Amino acid sequence: MEIFSINKEIINVNRIEELEEKIDRLIDSYRLMKEENERLKAEADVTRNSDKDLEGKISEIRGERELLIEKVQKILEKVEKVEI
């Protein structure tokens, strides 16, 4: 009966080692995913900030365009009033 008991212990030790290895791989995978997640979050923040900068520039250009259109309209009105 002792032989059976020893074999059973060896099997249990092997299973424990296998589980330990799987846990180590899971931990490594988790770390890699966490690092990738942090990198992607940082990249997304940079993209959001770039988008905000672009929105600000677009808004500024729209304002300048409106001002230019108003000036051109005033010039056209003056030209229309001139009698030849």
Rounded distance, CA 36 to CA 30, Å?
A: 10
pLDDT digit string, tens, across residues 57-78: 999 999 999 999 999 999 999 8
User: Is pTM beyond 0.85 here?
Assistant: no
Q: Give Dmax (Cα) for the chain.
A: 124
pLDDT digit string, tens, across residues 12-61: 778 889 999 999 999 999 999 999 999 999 999 999 999 999 999 999 99
Q: What is the pLDDT of residue 10?
A: 65
